[in-house]
Amino acid sequence: MSGVRLEGIVKAYGEVRVVHGIDLEVQEKEFVVLVGPSGCGKSTTLRMIAGLEEISGGDLTIDGRHVNRVAPKDRDVAMVFQNYALYPHLNVAENIAFGLRIRKESKEHIAASVEEVGTILGLTPYLERRPADLSGGQRQRVAMGRAIVRRPKVFLFDEPLSNLDAKLRTQMRAEIKRLHKRLGVTSIYVTHDQVEAMTLADRIVVMHDGRIEQVGTPMELFLNPANTFVAGFLGSPPMNMVKATIVAGEHGPVAEFNGERLALQAIPSLQDAVGKQVTLGIRPEFVKVAPEGSTDRVTIDVDLIETLGSEALIHGSLMGEPFVVRTETVGQMSVLDGISGITIAPHLIRVFDAKTGEALPGQVLAQ
């Protein structure tokens, strides 16, 4: 089984710990994305898996083999780097063949492999060109070609698309996804771009300050973030956070902020939370624009409406806290012009402990 298992993985530079005991199991053929802000330790973790960084503590297993002390070349992994790492003095074919040549594979095998990879990645017309004569997207494809030509057990991607423009990034994202489906190789992908993470991953690992905040499928993390960090990191625009207090209502606990009361989903942990300060997490997509006089209407002060074509972002504030609403525009523009209130479905509000930032237990939004 070509899975990867990290048990209590630690990375320290002298006294400074940058990765604090990570536990993660990546299944065979799975595409796992490590995502998090700069400096969260995701690239360091990937480099430890590749063998480019020494592991300070814990155990790393690849394909059932303990590899903490195994040289990178013997781990049977291939890595795609952010800046492509192509050899400028070699042409595309030679770049792709580099790893095979180093391993002294036969000339026939190398030629056949390069041809196959060239076909898979659409690089056949460019095999004789040098990297300097290629576009950014083509260079990234060559970098992937170099990785797949060796048929490794694990692919490691270190922010491979961050040097590309937005349009090319979208194209390459789809190509990586297709390639993974076709080759079925276990892949670990590092990015700080949550859109890449959401679109590519079978499972996402959200990291922060050298720790894993949450692991789950993209929709699990989107709908049921474990804490305010994950809630704020995934989703664009991010989840709105509103400070409130849980008070007892007629039909159960409700959230109260600045005199307004908001119904919440009925979960047992809320009964124990009466009187507690909480943070309400409300996705911009889960809010509806409410006309004057509608029931359960919450007032917002609108600053700005950004029209994006089929949808619009309404920027404003709710009880002094910044608040964004994402809504459709078709047939709605006349309503949007005079918007002053919204409705929020109680079951779509995520409640976090205001002190710890952790989600109150028992809230599960079905996918």
Partner 1 sequence: MTREQDPTVGQTETLVVEAREAQRHRKVGQLERVGDHLKREWQLYVMLIPTILWLLVFLYKPMYGLQIAFKDYSIFRGVAGSPWIGLEHFQTLFGNDQFIRALKNTIIISFYGLIFGFPMPIILALMFNEILVQTFKKTAQTIVYLPHFVSSVIIAGIVITAFSPSAGIVNTFLGWFGMESIYFLTKPEWFRPIFVGTGIWQEAGFQSIVYLAAIAGVSPTLYESAVVDGASRWQMMWKITVPSILPTIIIMLIIRIGNMLEVSFEMIILLYQPATYSTADVVNTFIYRQGIQGGQYDLAAAAGLFNAVVAFVLVMTANTISKRYSRTSLW
Q: By C-beta, is 51 or 218 nearer to partner 1? A: 51
Q: By C-beta, is 72 or 357 nearer to partner 1? A: 72
Least distance to partner 1 from the beta carbon of 126, Å? Answer: 19
The type of residue at 345 is A
Contact 92/128 with Cβ under 8 angstroms? yes
Q: By C-beta, is 13 or 87 nearer to partner 1? A: 87
Q: By C-beta, is 74 or 128 nearer to partner 1? A: 74
Least distance to partner 1 from the beta carbon of 189, Å? Answer: 16
Least distance to partner 1 from the beta carbon of 85, Å? Answer: 4
Least distance to partner 1 from the beta carbon of 325, Å? Answer: 43
Q: Which two structure tokens, joined as six digits, stand for 60?
A: 């790393």
The type of residue at 147 is A
Starting at the earlier edge strand, list the strands of the sheet with 287-289: 287-289, 341-344, 298-299
Least distance to partner 1 from the beta carbon of 175, Å? Answer: 20
Least distance to partner 1 from the beta carbon of 340, Å? Answer: 53
238: Cβ contacts below 8 Å, ≥ 6 apart = 231, 232
d(CA 98, CA 44): 25
Q: By C-beta, is 147 or 342 nearer to partner 1? A: 147
Q: By C-beta, is 36 or 152 nearer to partner 1? A: 152
Least distance to partner 1 from the beta carbon of 152, Å? Answer: 9
Least distance to partner 1 from the beta carbon of 144, Å? Answer: 12
Q: Which two structure tokens, joined as six digits, stand for 285?
A: 């997509």
d(CA 190, CA 35): 6
d(CA 95, CA 144): 11
d(CA 145, CA 142): 5
Q: By C-beta, is 74 or 272 nearer to partner 1? A: 74
Which residues sit at the interface with partner 1, rule CB under 8 A?
50-52, 72-74, 77-79, 81-83, 85, 87-90, 98-99, 102-103, 146, 150
The total of other beta-carbon atoms located within 10 Å of residue 202's CB is 15
Q: By C-beta, is 79 or 359 nearer to partner 1? A: 79
d(CA 125, CA 141): 13
The total of other beta-carbon atoms located within 10 Å of residue 327's CB is 19
Q: Considering only CA atoms, which of 329, 325, 317, 319 is closest in space to residue 348? A: 325
Q: What share of the chain is helix, strand, coil (3-state, %, to 5)?
A: 30, 35, 35
